[in-house]
Structure 1
Amino acid sequence: MIGFDTTDLLRAVQETIGQITPDEGVLRAMGVSGAEIFREEAKHNAASHAKTWTIHRNIIMKHLPEDSDGAQRQAYLVTVRKGGYGGGDAFYWRFVEEGHKFVPKNTKIGKRGNKIGWAAHRKAAELEYGTASAPAYPFMRPAYDSRKSDAVNAMSLTLKQQLIRNATR
């Protein structure tokens, strides 16, 4: 029987792993690779109910420097660019994601010139996820739920590639 003493090898491997500290560039590359998976899936989901393609065009990924901590943590957000009413941005994306109730116009104009009754607004605010008249067409949450493992795999692969690239320098 042949025996091997692997304690020195194990100690050397543990020391090497202890010396590897990913820098900010490696973490940012990992974050981008994971966030791209979610962004592309959200775009794919939004395209299935697209009428004007405004939401699809405005799904973005952005770096959050206030939530990032250098070489310890890098944060990214996949969201929809939402500007003011009338612009090219998709300010209404949450109405599509969660559904909404149509608020009818009030035919009576009050003393203050209000055309929409407050009772209708209160009823609309009580609803959370869609109605028969405006159902929810979620695209962000299903993207996250369906592609979590793919994003983790992409981030692991990016880490491996970055460590190999940095080791050959």
Structure 2
Amino acid sequence: MMRFDTSSLIEAVKQTAEQVVKSIDEPTLRTVGFAGADLFRDQAKQIALYNMKTGMLFDSIIVKRLDEESDGGQVQVYLVTVRNGNASRDGAYYWRWVEKGHKFVPKNTNVSARTGRTIGWAAHRRAAELEYGNARVRAYPFMRPAYETRKRDAVDLMTRTLAQQLARNST
């Protein structure tokens, strides 16, 4: 019969785990988290290219660190989103309509003498009267497919980045 004392092995594993936890600091976690989020952002931009008209949506897809949910060296939270803006400021305020589709508002042929706009309230009322979106603009999703296609790759990339950061911190 052979006996094996595992107490020294358990102690070595505990010490190694403590060293790993100590070497993971806030800059390391930020680098690892951003690597995964960056991969999702690039995939969403790639999908958005298929339906690009002006390039505003492509340019507005960003990675944002959520300071209120990140707590230093323990948790880092990143959000891949679209810079909203509005009609007068840079940003793709319409991105949810592209992602999920929307009701079609036909172009009004009457030009307003006061505003110079061609789509007026009458066109919006006609669109609202359409029951449950009989005339809908097709959805062109880009965020959800980006997440679904790249989630395993993001985990792999984050694992590799963490290993590289740990190797860099230990030397």
Which TM-score band applies after superposition, normalised by the shorter structure?
0.7 to 0.9
Alignment of 1:166 onto 2:163:
no
The 5 Å alignment of 1:141-152 reads 141-152=144-155
Query: Shift of the alpha carbon at 1:79?
Result: 0.7
Matched residue of 1:20: which SS?
A: helix
Quick one: which amino acid aligns to residue 13 of structure 2?
V
Work out whether 1:14 is the aligned partner of 2:8: no
Contact 1:100/1:124 (<8 A) preserved: no
Which residue does 2:114 correspond to in 1? none
* Cα deviation 1:83-131 (Å, max 9, x = unaligned): 11133321111111111112345x8xxxxxxx5257546457955xxx6
List alignment gaps of at least 5 residues for structure 2. Answer: 111-119
Cα distance in 2, alignment partners of residues 78 and 125 from structure 1: 34
The count of residues paired between Structure 1 and Structure 2 equals: 159
Q: 2:62 aligns with which of 60, 64, 67?
A: 60
Unpaired runs of 5+ in structure 1?
108-114
The 1-side partners of 2:131 and 2:10 are apart by 61
Amino acid at match of 1:116: W
Question: What TM-score comes out, normalization by structure 2 length?
Answer: 0.80
Aligned counterparts of 1:88 and 1:155: Cα–Cα separation in 2? 31
Change (3 A) 1:8 1:75: same
- For 1:155, the equivalent position in structure 2 comes to 158
Name the Cα RMSD after superposition.
Answer: 2.7
Question: For residues 72 and 125 of structure 1, what CA distance do their matches in structure 2 show?
Answer: 50
When residues 124 and 12 of structure 1 are mapped into structure 2, their CA distance, relative to the original with a 3 A threshold, is: farther
Residue aligning to 2:116: none
User: What pairs up with 1:49-128 in 2 under 5 angstroms?
Assistant: 49-104=51-106, 115-117=120-122, 119-120=125-126, 122=128
SS in 1 for 2:104: coil
Structure 2 equivalent of residue 138 of structure 1: 141
Displaced runs of 4 or more, over 3 A: 1-7, 117-127
Q: Residue type matched to 2:14 in 1? A: Q
